[in-house]
């Protein structure tokens, strides 16, 4: 099997406090080429950048999650800008977007903060990692305003294939997570089956969304292989094709040139 890329994992999460160095040291053995660790708060963004500075195969994204939108202000934005201007290995803005399932921040604030961070992506010419839950139409409408200036990936995509097509028409990518392995995930399976290989990324969103056969345990980047395997099974193509395509897509999307 060739190298895998986990396009979205949270190694700075406290559930990795005791062993993240070991996990990263095992990337070679586990055939992980690189991972991208997005931020969701200012602190986790800083932590992601710090981790990326220490490990070659870890890249960072910085951004404030819609849950935390209510805390976003000018000072926080200045700190994000400072990180982007001063630190290497920041390959994207994210994860940012809208979450109407939890509604931890008021929706008008979520939209405002989403737009402000999309402005940062334009300013610094960075791709964007999108979180969207129960908010697909508003997410689409806002992203469509920016589509001539940014490229985005819909992280752990859970919408319909029709909607995925509309995002792809904007030039965006779709990322499939371990949910595709869940027995009752009919829609995600259908989307994975139909998605063109050249727009597909794969991810774990670890420590969350652990795929079968490890569902219920802590997720880890190495389990991204089960996402690739399930997609190849659904598409009825060789697993190596999915692995190769998603690796090349991730390198192109994040503009990472790393030898494999």
Question: Please, what is the minimum distance in Å from the beta carbon of residue 48 to Ni ion?
Answer: 11
CB atoms within 10 A of CB 73: 9
**Kind and range of the H or E run holding 242:** helix 239-254
Q: How far is the CB of 40 from Ni ion (least distance, A)?
A: 7
CB nearer Ni ion, residue 156 or residue 249:
156
Contact status: 47 vs Ni ion (CB under 5 A): no
Nearer to Ni ion, 215 or 241 (CB): 215
Please give the full DSSP string across 24-47, using - where no structure is assigned: HHTTTTTTEEEEEE--SSHHHHHH
With respect to Ni ion, which residue has the nearer C-beta, 99 or 205? 205
Classify residue 3 as left (phi > 0), alpha (psi -120 to 50) or beta: beta
Which SS3 state, helix, strand or coil, does residue 176 take? strand
- The CB-of-219 to Ni ion minimum distance in angstroms stands at 11
Binding to Ni ion by CB under 5 A, coded x per residue (else -) over 173-212, reads: --------------------------------x-------
Contact 141, 170 (CB under 8 A): no
The count of chain residues that interact with Ni ion, using the rule CB under 5 A, is 1
Please give the residue whose beta carbon sits closest to Ni ion in the complex.
205
Which residues form the interface with Ni ion (CB under 5 A)? Answer: 205
């Amino acid at each position: 099997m060739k190298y895998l890329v986990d396009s979205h994992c949270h190694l700075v999460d406290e559930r990795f406090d005791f062993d993240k160095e070991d996990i990263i040291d095992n990337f070679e053995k586990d055939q992980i080429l690189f991972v991208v660790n997005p931020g969701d708060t200012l602190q986790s963004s800083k932590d992601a950048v710090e981790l990326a500075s220490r490990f070659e195969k870890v890249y960072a994204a910085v951004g404030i999650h819609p849950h935390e939108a209510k805390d976003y202000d000018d000072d926080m934005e200045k700190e994000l800008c400072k990180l982007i201007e001063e630190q290497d290995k920041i390959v994207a803005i994210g994860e940012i977007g809208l979450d109407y399932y939890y509604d931890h921040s008021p929706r008008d604030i979520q939209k405002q903060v989403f737009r402000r961070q999309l402005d940062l992506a334009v300013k610094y010419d960075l791709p964007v990692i999108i979180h969207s839950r129960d908010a697909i139409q508003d997410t689409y409408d806002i992203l469509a305003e920016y589509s001539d200036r940014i490229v985005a990936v819909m992280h752990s995509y859970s919408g319909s294939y029709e909607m995925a097509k509309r995002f792809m028409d904007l030039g965006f990518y779709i990322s499939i997570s371990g949910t595709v392995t869940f027995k009752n995930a009919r829609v995600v399976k259908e989307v994975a089956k139909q998605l063109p290989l050249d727009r597909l990324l794969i991810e774990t969103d670890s420590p969350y969304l652990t795929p079968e056969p490890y569902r219920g345990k802590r997720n880890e980047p190495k389990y991204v292989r089960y996402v690739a395997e399930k997609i190849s099974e659904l598409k009825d193509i060789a697993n190596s094709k999915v692995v190769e395509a998603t690796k090349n897509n991730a390198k192109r999307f994040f503009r990472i040139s790393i030898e494999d």
